A and B are shown apart, each in its own frame.
Chain A
Amino acid sequence: MIELNKIVVIGAGTMGSGIAQWFAQNFCSVELIDNSSEQLQKAKSSIEASWDKLEKKGKLTASDVARMKELLSTKSLEETSKDADLVIEAIIEDLEIKKTLLKKLDSHFEEKTILSSNTSSFPIHLMAEALSDKRKGKFLGLHFFNPATIMKLVEIIRGKDSSDELCQDLYTWFNEKGKKPALSADSPGFIVNRVARNFYGEPLRIVEKDEPEMMREVDRILREVGGFKMGPFELMDLIGIDINYSVTCSVWEAYDKEPRFAPHKLQKQMVDEKRFGRKSGRGFYKYD
């Protein structure tokens, strides 16, 4: 089996710090990087606090927590070990910024280092354009789900130049570590963000109008009959109507406006009215 001991995670936001935490919990050495030292410290403290909490609950032993804390460090990119086994970037979703970073990573790390991206929106083959030819085979997508320590899925995205063998090796490695990997082609939305679109799109077409009573009924039926943990309307309110709408539009555009992915007019109307869901106090439902 492939050996992954030294991991570098770039971007200490929600996803990056969750990913860093998961690797450290699996006893890999993790260097967490971010432009903002403040953000880095915040992420580190919150990861450590989460371990302390798990120790109190009896889910982790004191010696495990001590070891994990030792394994997790924060660095600047320049200070990062050049011999990392795997680098995962989880920075802002901006193609140009990501490509600039990848170019830097390509020259900083040794030839053996695997580079990966946690992107949910950009094709891996487009990001790979920033890399040298010899690195391209060692670059792929590793798409984690939030919260990364809890959600078991990792989508392993094989770009057109990514090595098949490497993707298979990572599949086996994550499986051994208790994740549930899924191998996906480099197509828009990969698996989840594509297949899940109609969990939102279809209920919107069942209700058609801005009627909370109908939405409550649809949420209830999908929970009670369907066995989903949350109904689509309450889930969209939690995710953020703006974020859900933007993912919908991006998948729809990427598939040349295929009608199966078309956004519903109500989504745009809500974004225009700044009804973003829970975070703005009003989405499909009202929140106090």
Chain B
Amino acid sequence: MRRDLDVRVGEDFISMTNVEFDGKYILNFGFGTKTEKKVFLNTHSDKKVVMDLTCYDPKEFYAEFPQLAGVFSALFCDEEKKIEVHLRSDKEEFLQKFKELEFNPVETRILSHGFIFPRTIAQIINEAHFALSENVASREDIDRAMKFGVNYPKGPFEWSKGKETIIRTLLEELHTSTHDPRYIPSPLLK
């Protein structure tokens, strides 16, 4: 991995980081507010950008920014560095760059707000926080139950540790766009 690019996984990886290459492409990693993401695209309108949009509706961004070549979600990736990617142009260049950075991009054709993996585990994590707030069980026992009762690769609190703000933002965005109260975040997700 090219250490000079400062693209890491885990908690270090949450702030916005850019990787520019071949003079016309940018990979934009990390968490940001919706406004920050849009300002970034507005100020880089001459480049092809592929952006981490874990929390926001990619359809809205695609419609507004023609130079947005694709979207991905890396905010939940772990040591295996697998990331969900949707690309609408310049596929080869961007997939190649992800691989150079030692990511394992997994392409999807489904363009879903919150992608597939983050959206699903955000709801599992949310429920675990509601259960915790109602004193159903301890964090440790909830993690243990999900790992050893239904074979989850990680417990909900192991997934969410240090990423509570991102999960909360994703749920609030889903709530705003769907108006479905199922996405109201647990008060413990701060």
Contacts and interface: CB of A to CB of B under 8 A. Distances in A.
A151 B124 contact: no
Contacts of A228: 151-153
B124 A199 contact: yes
Interface stretch (A23-31, A45-53, A101-109, A215-223): A215-223
Contacts of B180: 259
Contacts of A181: 141, 144
A152 interface: yes
A191 B142 CA distance: 6
Given A145-B149, A206-B110, A182 B156 contact: no
B26 interface: no
A198 B123 contact: yes
Interface in A166-191: 180-185, 187, 190-191
A184 B132 CA distance: 10
A196 B108 contact: no
A187 B109 CA distance: 39
A66 interface: no
Contacts of B130: 260
B117 to A, nearest CB: 5
B49 interface: no
Contact of B112 (A153, A199, A206): A206
B153 A187 contact: no
B1 interface: no
B6 interface: no
A206 B109 CA distance: 13
Nearest to B78: A227
B116 A222 contact: yes
Given A184-B145, A224-B106, A260-B127, A198 B120 contact: yes
B130 to A, nearest CB: 8
Interface of A: 145, 151-153, 155, 180-185, 187, 190-192, 194-199, 201-203, 206, 214, 217-218, 221-222, 224-229, 232, 259-260, 262
Given A145-B148, A225-B83, 4 more contacts: A190-B136, A191-B142, A198-B124, A227-B154
A196 B124 contact: yes
B189 interface: no
Interface residues of B, number: 44
Given A180-B144, A194-B131, A151 B117 contact: no
A260 B145 contact: no
Given A151-B149, A192-B149, A225-B106, A182 B117 contact: no
Nearest to A156: B141
Given A196-B146, A196-B150, A260-B127, A226 B136 contact: no
17 contacts: A182-B141, A182-B149, A183-B141, A184-B137, A191-B136, A191-B141, A192-B150, A194-B131, A196-B124, A198-B120, A198-B123, A217-B116, A218-B116, A221-B108, A221-B110, A222-B117, A224-B82
A119 to B, nearest CB: 15
Contact of A260 (B108, B119, B126, B136): B126
A237 to B, nearest CB: 16
Contacts of A192: 145-146, 149-150
A203 B110 CA distance: 12
Given A206-B119, A218-B110, A195 B141 contact: no
B95 interface: no
